[in-house]
Structure 1
């Protein structure tokens, strides 16, 4: 195995091999870019996250089968005038309605013919305060967000032509007629718009951030471009592969997934590059030959980078067990991109370093003592001996020789932060994650203030009466949480199927509405039994959110357990120590809980965020656990390597001293890339970026340099149990001490 690795290393960084490696990457990039489709062409933001066997999806299927006129994506064109709607406004609405009846807009399924409603009756449909009118349009249920957007754009153009002014662009606080598109159709379009340029924005922002941080860390105008070239190459290869997989229908993904993938690739990819660069720089102080130095560096770090990459890939692929499509669709894009990045780190990076050599670190070029002496003689100067940084050695020494104090201090901080998780409220409301000036959110605010928020997404209750002649309007109206019940509608397909539309008291996207609807679902089940009806289904946005909550809660438990098991197995295989595996996984878990708690405290108490997305714990855990183990592996590998020639406490001091700098650099870059998400206008990405960045920083500055070394010091030789080789060496070295 060792000889095989040596042969591979020599092949990659030999005089000919390095050029072949670079050439293969160039050919691969050109071929994939020319022959395979871009990933951006196949993003799908209309993917239904729930499976067909969920109750709300079964109810939606019943609605589609028996009430085809109600099947579609509702769009609520909200008309508002602060001083009160006028007859001319209603006439314009009727003219627009006539236009859509005569000439349908893109993706239109059905538009209510308001032009056929007499003006007095139309005035009755205005809100009680006289300011708001809701014009309902159904778009085709299978229409893409682009199709729906095209339809709404046509409506805006026609309204502008009728009114000689664009009401969709009017400010809410003006005296003009204001129009906003909301409801599921408007929300869908706005969600797509918000994510449309997220991947490009993130790509530019992440590249600039990584470049600046690398320039500050290494103070070299050359070195920063090596990781960026490697990550860029991986990105150029991975994205066409994802595009091809999506085109063939093998995978699916949305704009949000591609945006986060960009951050992950540049953050984690730069980390792997820095692991190798730091070791290469160290060997350049000992070896005159740059080829020998890169061979030694690659031989030392190949295992660390390989197991780190595989750990991240395995953790990400664990998302495939999710029953929620939004989560499942992250697995393959993330896993493929990290796997390709790992290959780039092990092939392209060493090849580039073997070509550039010491010049990569210009102007602070690392040289051997002989080279420095020769250079000094030529310039008639004294030799400046290379001095290693001592800060991280002092940190390592503190953790190694005062382990109890270190463990107590760090655990108090981490456990204290973790306590905030008991106060977290979770949200399943897509709309609340939008900026306040988003059209669909402004439209929702208008409806909520004028009519009541229940109008935005009503609930459909469908009974199979089995031939019973019953009117259930009063029974439904008496259920807690129901604000209004519309007249029942009998299916034209089967007269036994009757649908009642309910308006909820609460915002239909809120947790309160979900709790109310769960009670309503129990109530309609009792009504079915009391009247001996055949069956009942509950459909609508709130019903879907209830199923989402149930599925996500189950996914969270299953995914966390699976990731812990997978990471534990990989650590056990690599370290061959049960003890080390247990406490390393334990430190990652405490990093996650403290990051989640601290992130919630900052968002809730600092920025008045009432709730965070229910998906955040799953996303944050997978990334913090997987990426945190990267630093664990590097730190422990350094400690174990140093232990072969010194007592355990000295090995910890030296191991932390040697790896502390590179872990700090990598952690700052990784946290910075996730922090870029905070600049986006989508709250779910802001929350995810902040919490994950906090987790990375806790790993970088507290867990890895302090807690892990302190636990290792406390355990002594038992930190390596049951590895006999490690135990025997530890005993002999401790005896020497």
Structure 2
């Protein structure tokens, strides 16, 4: 009878050879087909994506309700653009005549939907404004760009023109997001590729890992696109950019963990099939726990009031699902097909010895780090904690109470420049009035409240019979429009309500305007508690208030949910509490250092209230990943070698792969900084810096040192806490026993049976 070789896969031998070839081949073909279908959708995202303000508004806010009613009052869903003309020495009669003639040509431009207003001159005679209504469709940015091109040739010499207003800002926002499909992906993939080449010292393996990430992204985008098409999810530029980065970063992280397990298995198994299944079994638990933690954390965003926050949860979760599926099906199939050749020129040879991870003969950076922790655990975790707490002091100066709309775009913005010109020559809120919707029976009392407020310049009521669509309202009521003696137009009513437009004295995105709108809401509610106040300023107020509510609600939910997941995963209470607290301190330090950088290096005007929330969700959900990778391996090693030895071995074994994963994820999030949007630039820095802190300080030093100092009590109250004493002489330090045994050998003694067991453990459970 033939005795199978030690590495002969008797169980695997039951699987026919044709099936071993067919299964990975089918998986690769399926992924190729799905990615081939999903790839072209990168160019079609604009068909289902919206960057207008409604996609960011809280669903139940007053401003949202007013925005939904506005089209009913005006009879059109047009988005207004404001064309501003300026001559510093004053507009001449010829200038105004040329502008008037040009309005006829503007009315014929693509996308113009309705009547273009005649030019309205400022009181100082140096500027004029023209209102241009655009159709609210996916071509808004293209149509506004066409208007700007037209103005570049039709504006009189010596006169400067700008396109601002809601349509102008939306077009600039869309243009800023325009680099997501190209520049963002190119920068992220290039950064990841360079890191992988350095890590693996192989030209082929980085390509396989990046292909896995891109295929996962293509299929995720395909699913998200159709869900957005059917109205199941919302998609905007902000969510789209984060989806791209998250999938690439997460899929690469999961791939790195699998590759390390596969390379380790190839040293012990001659059969690639057997090595593949060993790697899948070893990597599946940590990866599924990591992906599940991120998904649950992201789905907590469904508790948000703000639409943009709520939209990110399911979209990003779908991305993580396909990142996980690609890393656990496509990558194993590719590596099974290429075998050891994927690692060329540094191929793992069957039967080759694994490097010793702990003990006197251990070499490498992580073996030295493990040695430092063994010698001075308390000093290390105390110093790390103090450093993180010092960094966290910057949170006190973080200005996350919102920024003006004009500051959302970094770099040049024609709409922002035009808004400044409007503020210089017209009432500050010209073109972006506060919109008040209330009972027609209370029209005059509502108008009186508005007129008596210092922050309001003028009031008008929407009236379809008026040539301009509105009629002025004074203390004497609705005023006539047109020829002297004509009766005042009848206000438009919708379900018994009228809409008033209050031009504010201050720019619509200023703090003064926000104070005015808040005060008006209080006073108008005294007239009728059903009155709604909307408009650009109200949108900013309601969005900021909803962001603050979301931040205060979701952060505790995420903490509790992740703590419960870790308790189930590690089957303990103390270790999960330590991990969650370490990540919270890490997040506070990252946010504090970011506040210093934003204020004193970049000079940012402030931050959106959603910035801390997004930073928290990503850093806690993703930062806990590295602790999961570490502690699942520590638990595995503890079952064989005891807690303290398990901590050192787990750190040494996972150190390289987790550090590489952290560098990859930090690089991908840093790539968000190439998109000139303030929110994304801030998220890019916070998450990238925070991931590095989690990877290099929290996971490498703080958690291992604190756990080592506590000892086996970290597994309380699990069975491992009670049985650890029987594994290896309670909590004594096995490495110290090894050193003592070496001294005994040098003195002519013999190694103990316990010592031999330790070295056998080194051979059976090596580092990758």
TM over 0.5: yes
Higher alpha-carbon deviation: 713-722 or 483-492: 483-492
For residues 488-521 of structure 1, give each alpha carbon's deviation from its aligned partner in whole angstroms, at most 9, with x where no partner exists: 2575334986655333344322344323321232
- The structure-2 alpha-carbon separation of the partners of 1:127 and 1:280, relative to structure 1 and needing over 3 Å to count, comes to farther
Distance in 1 separating the partners of 2:604 and 2:203:
41
Distance in 2 separating the partners of 1:11 and 1:634:
32
2:404 aligns to what SS in structure 1?
A: coil
What does residue 122 of structure 2 align with?
126
For residues 5-34 of structure 1, give each alpha carbon's deviation from its aligned partner in whole angstroms, at most 9, with x where no partner exists: x99999999774354224233234325644
What does residue 691 of structure 1 align with?
686
Distance in 2 separating the partners of 1:730 and 1:469:
82
- The structure-2 alpha-carbon separation of the partners of 1:605 and 1:285, relative to structure 1 and needing over 3 Å to count, comes to same
What does residue 388 of structure 2 align with?
414
Which of 430, 433, 452 is residue 405 of structure 2 equivalent to? 430
Native 8 Å contact 2:642 2:725 kept in 1: yes
What does residue 592 of structure 2 align with?
597
What does residue 357 of structure 1 align with?
339
Native 8 Å contact 1:13 1:295 kept in 2: no
Native 8 Å contact 2:189 2:210 kept in 1: yes
Query: Map of 1:231-246 to 2, 5 A cutoff?
Result: 231-246=213-228
For residues 73-101 of structure 1, give each alpha carbon's deviation from its aligned partner in whole angstroms, at most 9, with x where no partner exists: 22111112234322222112111223456
- The structure-2 alpha-carbon separation of the partners of 1:323 and 1:16, relative to structure 1 and needing over 3 Å to count, comes to same
Q: How big is the shift at 1:240?
A: 1.4
1:176 aligns to what SS in structure 2?
A: coil
Q: How big is the shift at 1:462?
A: 4.3
- The structure-2 alpha-carbon separation of the partners of 1:48 and 1:646, relative to structure 1 and needing over 3 Å to count, comes to closer
Native 8 Å contact 1:190 1:439 kept in 2: yes
For residues 146-169 of structure 1, give each alpha carbon's deviation from its aligned partner in whole angstroms, at most 9, with x where no partner exists: 1x3354345446546xxxx254xx
What does residue 358 of structure 2 align with?
none
Query: Map of 1:461-480 to 2, 5 A cutoff?
Result: 461-464=436-439, 466=441, 472-473=447-448, 475-480=449-454
Query: Map of 1:195-234 to 2, 5 A cutoff?
Result: 195-234=177-216
What does residue 252 of structure 2 align with?
270
2:55 aligns to what SS in structure 1?
A: coil
1:551 aligns to what SS in structure 2?
A: helix
What does residue 429 of structure 2 align with?
454
What does residue 250 of structure 1 align with?
232
What does residue 357 of structure 2 align with?
none
Native 8 Å contact 2:267 2:352 kept in 1: no
2:339 aligns to what SS in structure 1?
A: helix
What does residue 645 of structure 1 align with?
640
2:203 aligns to what SS in structure 1?
A: coil
2:384 aligns to what SS in structure 1?
A: helix
Q: Does 1:552 align with 2:547?
A: yes
Distance in 1 separating the partners of 2:392 and 2:38:
49
What does residue 378 of structure 1 align with?
none
Query: Map of 1:54-203 to 2, 5 A cutoff?
Result: 54-61=61-68, 63-65=70-72, 67-68=73-74, 72-99=78-105, 103=108, 105-114=110-119, 125-128=121-124, 130-140=125-135, 143-146=136-139, 148-156=140-148, 159=151, 165=153, 167=155, 176-203=158-185
What does residue 57 of structure 2 align with?
50
Q: How big is the shift at 1:730?
A: 4.4
What does residue 296 of structure 1 align with?
278
Which of 703, 706, 709 is residue 704 of structure 2 equivalent to? 709
Q: How big is the shift at 1:610?
A: 1.9
Native 8 Å contact 2:212 2:326 kept in 1: yes
The two structures, once aligned, show a CA RMSD in angstroms of 3.1
Q: How big is the shift at 1:720?
A: 0.6
What does residue 340 of structure 1 align with?
322
Distance in 2 separating the partners of 1:682 and 1:325:
18
Distance in 2 separating the partners of 1:618 and 1:491:
47
- The structure-2 alpha-carbon separation of the partners of 1:471 and 1:676, relative to structure 1 and needing over 3 Å to count, comes to closer
Distance in 2 separating the partners of 1:149 and 1:510:
25
What does residue 367 of structure 2 align with?
393
- The structure-2 alpha-carbon separation of the partners of 1:150 and 1:674, relative to structure 1 and needing over 3 Å to count, comes to closer
- The structure-2 alpha-carbon separation of the partners of 1:498 and 1:287, relative to structure 1 and needing over 3 Å to count, comes to closer
For residues 465-484 of structure 1, give each alpha carbon's deviation from its aligned partner in whole angstroms, at most 9, with x where no partner exists: 627866945x5344354455
Native 8 Å contact 1:36 1:243 kept in 2: no
What does residue 492 of structure 1 align with?
491
What does residue 260 of structure 1 align with?
242
Q: How big is the shift at 1:188?
A: 0.9
What does residue 118 of structure 1 align with?
none
Q: Does 1:323 align with 2:305?
A: yes
- The structure-2 alpha-carbon separation of the partners of 1:469 and 1:642, relative to structure 1 and needing over 3 Å to count, comes to closer
For residues 114-162 of structure 1, give each alpha carbon's deviation from its aligned partner in whole angstroms, at most 9, with x where no partner exists: 4xxxxxxx5xx2252x43211122334xx1241x3354345446546xx
- The structure-2 alpha-carbon separation of the partners of 1:633 and 1:546, relative to structure 1 and needing over 3 Å to count, comes to same
- The structure-2 alpha-carbon separation of the partners of 1:12 and 1:224, relative to structure 1 and needing over 3 Å to count, comes to farther
What does residue 618 of structure 1 align with?
613
Unaligned 5+ segments in structure 1 are 1-5, 115-121, 373-386
What does residue 515 of structure 1 align with?
515
- The structure-2 alpha-carbon separation of the partners of 1:358 and 1:269, relative to structure 1 and needing over 3 Å to count, comes to same
1:454 aligns to what SS in structure 2?
A: coil
Native 8 Å contact 1:145 1:192 kept in 2: no
For residues 594-625 of structure 1, give each alpha carbon's deviation from its aligned partner in whole angstroms, at most 9, with x where no partner exists: 21121121111111112012221222111111
What does residue 440 of structure 1 align with?
415
2:158 aligns to what SS in structure 1?
A: coil
What does residue 38 of structure 1 align with?
41
For residues 211-251 of structure 1, give each alpha carbon's deviation from its aligned partner in whole angstroms, at most 9, with x where no partner exists: 11111122111211121121122122222122222222222
1:453 aligns to what SS in structure 2?
A: coil
- The structure-2 alpha-carbon separation of the partners of 1:36 and 1:647, relative to structure 1 and needing over 3 Å to count, comes to closer
Distance in 1 separating the partners of 2:92 and 2:14:
80
- The structure-2 alpha-carbon separation of the partners of 1:675 and 1:166, relative to structure 1 and needing over 3 Å to count, comes to farther
Native 8 Å contact 1:568 1:582 kept in 2: yes
Native 8 Å contact 1:18 1:351 kept in 2: no
Q: How big is the shift at 1:44?
A: 2.5
Q: How big is the shift at 1:650?
A: 2.5
Higher alpha-carbon deviation: 663-672 or 490-499: 490-499
- The structure-2 alpha-carbon separation of the partners of 1:291 and 1:157, relative to structure 1 and needing over 3 Å to count, comes to closer
1:266 aligns to what SS in structure 2?
A: helix
- The structure-2 alpha-carbon separation of the partners of 1:324 and 1:467, relative to structure 1 and needing over 3 Å to count, comes to closer
What does residue 380 of structure 1 align with?
none
For residues 678-736 of structure 1, give each alpha carbon's deviation from its aligned partner in whole angstroms, at most 9, with x where no partner exists: 12212211111111101100101111011111221232122111211343124542437
Q: How big is the shift at 1:361?
A: 2.1
Equivalent residue pairs, number:
687
- The structure-2 alpha-carbon separation of the partners of 1:499 and 1:641, relative to structure 1 and needing over 3 Å to count, comes to closer
Unaligned 5+ segments in structure 2 are 1-8, 355-360, 461-471, 479-488, 733-768
What does residue 536 of structure 1 align with?
531
Which of 385, 404, 415 is residue 378 of structure 2 equivalent to? 404
What does residue 381 of structure 1 align with?
none
- The structure-2 alpha-carbon separation of the partners of 1:98 and 1:505, relative to structure 1 and needing over 3 Å to count, comes to same
